[in-house]
């Protein structure tokens, strides 16, 4: 996992901030978790994830509060968190109250009882009651990752038993049962049937999609990006058949200290993300100057992984591709993300996906010229725009195309 200063600090207040989310949650939940016995009944949201340490023998986890909870579904629901305008403490409040019941499992395991239970929970569309017997009492802990929502206290499982009644959506059941359907085709099918990315990621990670002989557990961190990548690629293929936008559109949105400026430019598909991590933000806690990262693709797409922006790139591309597909238009799209000090605890790439989706719910500012659109964006950004202009391959390509057109 990608640990930040808060995770290394473990709530010891090394950053000297007046308020520490982790300290506040330790006080609230450490006694609750550590008073949990070696046998308890809990309600999973449903939530399961696969770790990547010691691959191919990985930790398979079921996340659950240590009690039955009719509102457990709010503990693992990024779409709900965003729509409800949850703040970082609200999210940590729900995540830190869960135990990560886990067992070591080989990625190609079969006939494993705990794996069977985790798979039943992962594919359920409703919360699932289960009973757990642990090797020892759990100890309070929190871990953070750039892709996933925070994970609560780990505890090795001895035995588990489902006591509720999981309910599976018909499209999910159909995709799982079709052992001749390739994983990418299964992802496309589920997305078209309005199954959310979180559910698709869970069942993909638990080895429930794809051709039978190829099915295996996949670390959730990798699966999140794979699902965003697969869905957005399919949407981009559709977009390339649409007519170009006729005007410049600028969208904006801010959530959890992440500010986005999104520019849609008339022309063929291109895509770029530029991120600025300001000092004291989660990925630049000790820095004194902003740090910029960027990745780009032209009309023909990428041949390599977006190693600078990483998983956030694919989550952003999915949100943009969804919008252009919805309005049936093609465009070059530039996303500028400024990460401010308010974003001091990593929440996962869902923040990027949902915030950009939220931006597209707002009415855009429209411009007849690129200059007008960029001038508007400049007024909303904290970092001087010259830094973005220098960093952007997309804007360089656009300027080059305009210059060549003058001599055509």
What average pLDDT does the structure give for the chain? 91
The stretch 40-51 carries a mean pLDDT of: 96
Pair 218, 50: CB distance under 8 Å:
yes
pLDDT per residue as tens digits for the range 336-382? 999 999 998 899 999 999 999 999 999 999 999 999 999 999 999 99
Distance CA(112)–CA(114), nearest Å, equals: 6
Distance CA(6)–CA(310), nearest Å, equals: 21
Going from N- to C-terminal start, the domains of the chain cover 5-162, 170-236, 248-405
Residue 263: pLDDT above 70? yes
Nearest CA among 227, 205, 228, 155 for reference residue 49: 205
Pair 1, 220: CB distance under 8 Å:
no
Lowest mean pLDDT segment, chosen from 118-127, 133-142, 163-172, 346-355 = 133-142
Residue 2: pLDDT above 50? no
Residue 286: pLDDT above 90? no
pLDDT of residue 142: 80
Q: Which residues pair with 296 in a beta bridge?
A: 272
Determine the 3-state secondary structure of 193 from DSSP: coil
Determine the 3-state secondary structure of 57 from DSSP: strand
Enter the pTM of the model: 0.91
Residue 403: pLDDT above 90? no
Which of 103 and 14 is assigned the larger pLDDT? Answer: 103
Distance CA(266)–CA(335), nearest Å, equals: 15
Copy the structure tokens of residue 326: 């919805």
pLDDT of residue 22: 61
Laid out side by side, the sheet with 98-106 consists of 39-44, 128-134, 153-162, 98-106, 57-65, 48-50
pLDDT of residue 25: 55
Phi, psi values for residue 42, rounded to 5°: -140, 165
Distance CA(91)–CA(80), nearest Å, equals: 11
pLDDT of residue 180: 97
At 97, the pLDDT band (50, 70, 90 cuts) reads confident
Phi, psi values for residue 43, rounded to 5°: -115, 110
Q: How crowded is residue 315: how many other Cβ atoms within 10 Å of its Cβ?
A: 29
pLDDT of residue 349: 96
């Amino acid at each position: 996992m990608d640990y930040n200063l808060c995770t290394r600090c473990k709530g010891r207040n090394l950053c000297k901030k007046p308020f520490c989310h982790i300290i506040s949650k330790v006080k609230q939940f450490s006694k609750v978790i550590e008073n949990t016995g070696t046998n308890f009944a809990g309600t999973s949201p449903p939530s399961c994830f696969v770790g990547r340490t010691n691959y191919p023998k990985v930790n398979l986890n079921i996340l659950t509060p240590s009690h039955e909870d009719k509102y457990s579904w709010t503990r693992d629901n990024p779409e709900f968190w965003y729509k409800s305008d949850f703040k970082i403490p609200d999210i940590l409040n729900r995540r830190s109250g869960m135990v990560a019941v886990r067992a070591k499992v080989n990625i190609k395991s079969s006939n494993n009882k705990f794996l069977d239970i985790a798979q039943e929970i992962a594919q359920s569309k409703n919360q699932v009651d289960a009973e757990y017997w642990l090797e020892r009492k759990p100890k309070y802990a929190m871990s953070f990752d750039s892709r996933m929502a925070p994970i609560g206290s780990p505890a090795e499982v001895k035995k588990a038993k489902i006591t509720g009644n999981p309910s599976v959506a018909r499209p999910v059941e159909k995709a799982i049962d079709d052992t001749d359907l390739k994983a990418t085709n299964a992802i496309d099918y589920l997305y078209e049937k309005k199954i959310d990315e979180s559910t698709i990621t869970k069942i993909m990670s638990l080895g429930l999609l794809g051709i039978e002989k190829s099915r295996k557990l996949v670390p959730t961190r990798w699966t999140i990006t794979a699902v965003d990548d697969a869905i957005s690629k399919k949407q981009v293929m559709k977009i390339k058949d649409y007519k170009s936008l006729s005007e410049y559109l600028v969208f904006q949105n801010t959530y959890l200290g992440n500010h986005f400026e999104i520019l849609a430019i008339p022309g063929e598909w291109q895509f770029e993300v530029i991120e600025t991590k300001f000092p004291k933000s989660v990925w630049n806690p000790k820095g004194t100057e902003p740090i910029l990262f960027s990745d780009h693709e032209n009309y023909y797409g990428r041949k390599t992984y977006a190693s600078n922006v990483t998983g956030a790139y694919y989550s952003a591309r999915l949100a943009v591709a969804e919008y252009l597909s919805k309005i049936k238009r093609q465009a070059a799209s530039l996303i500028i993300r400024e990460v401010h000090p308010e974003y001091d605890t990593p929440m996962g790439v869902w923040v990027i996906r949902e915030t950009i989706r939220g931006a597209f719910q707002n009415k855009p500012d429209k411009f007849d010229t690129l200059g007008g659109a960029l001038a508007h964006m400049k007024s909303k950004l904290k970092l001087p725009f010259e830094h973005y202009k220098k960093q952007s391959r997309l804007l360089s390509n656009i300027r080059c195309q305009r210059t060549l057109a003058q001599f055509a």
